[in-house]
Amino acid sequence: MIIIMEPKATEAEIQKVVTSMEAKGFKIILNKGDVMTVIAAIGDKRMVDPASIASLEGVRDVKLVQEPYKLASREGQEEDTVIEFPNGVKIGGLEKPVLMVGPCSVEKDIDGLLQVAYAAKEMGVPFLRGGAFKPRTSPYEFQGLEEQALKYLATAREKTGLLIVTEVMDTYDVPLVEDYADVVQIGARNMQNFKLLKAVGKCDKPVLLKRGPAASIREFLLAAEHIMCNGNEKVILCERGIKGFDSTFTRNTLDLAAVPVIKKYSHLPIVVDPSHACGRRYLIEPMSKAALMTGANGLLIEVHHDPDNASSDGAQSLNIEQFKKVAKNLNRLIGRIDYDNRNGKNE
Of positions 74, 226, 234, 240, contacts ligand PEP by CB under 6 A: 240
Question: Considering beta carbons, is residue 275 or 297 the nearer one to ligand PEP?
Answer: 275
- Minimal distance in Å, beta carbon 254 to ligand PEP? 12
CA distance 178 to 190: 17
Closer to ligand PEP at the Cβ: 263 or 276?
A: 276
For residue 290, which of 324, 254, 344, 253 has the smallest C-alpha distance? 254
Q: Judged by CB, which is closer to ligand PEP: 131, or 260?
A: 131
Which of 266, 311 has the CB closer to Mn ion?
311
User: Of residues 281-320, which lie at the interface with Mn ion (CB under 5 A)?
Assistant: 313
Check if the beta carbon of residue 297 is closer than 8 Å to that of residue 271: yes
109 vs 115: CA distance, rounded Å: 10
> Judged by CB under 6 A, which of 71, 188, 268, 271 binds ligand PEP?
188
Contacts of the segment 182-191: beta carbons below 8 A, 24+ positions apart:
182/85, 182/127, 182/157, 182/206, 183/127, 183/207, 183/208, 183/236, 184/208, 185/129, 185/210, 186/210, 187/135, 188/212, 188/213, 188/240, 188/276, 189/135, 189/213, 190/135, 191/215, 191/219, 191/220, 191/223
Whose Cβ is closer to ligand PEP: residue 210's or residue 263's? Answer: 210
Q: Select from 263, 276, 304, 342 the one that contacts ligand PEP (CB under 6 A).
A: 276
SS3 234: coil
Site for ligand PEP in 193-212 (CB under 6 A): 210
Smaller CB distance to ligand PEP: residue 187 or 295? 187
Using CB under 6 A as the binding rule, whether residue 244 contacts ligand PEP is answered as no
Residues of this chain, 65-124, that bind Mn ion according to CB under 5 A? 104
Q: Does 135 bind ligand PEP (CB under 6 A)?
A: yes
User: Phi/psi of residue 327, each to 5°?
Assistant: -60, -40
C-beta nearest to Mn ion: residue: 104
Q: Give yes or no for a contact between 329 and 291, defined as CB atoms under 8 angstroms apart.
A: no
Tell me which stretch binds ligand PEP (CB under 6 A): 25-33, 65-73, 185-193, 321-329.
Answer: 185-193
Binding residues for ligand PEP (CB under 6 A): 104, 131, 135, 187-189, 210, 240, 276
Binding residues for Mn ion (CB under 5 A): 104, 313
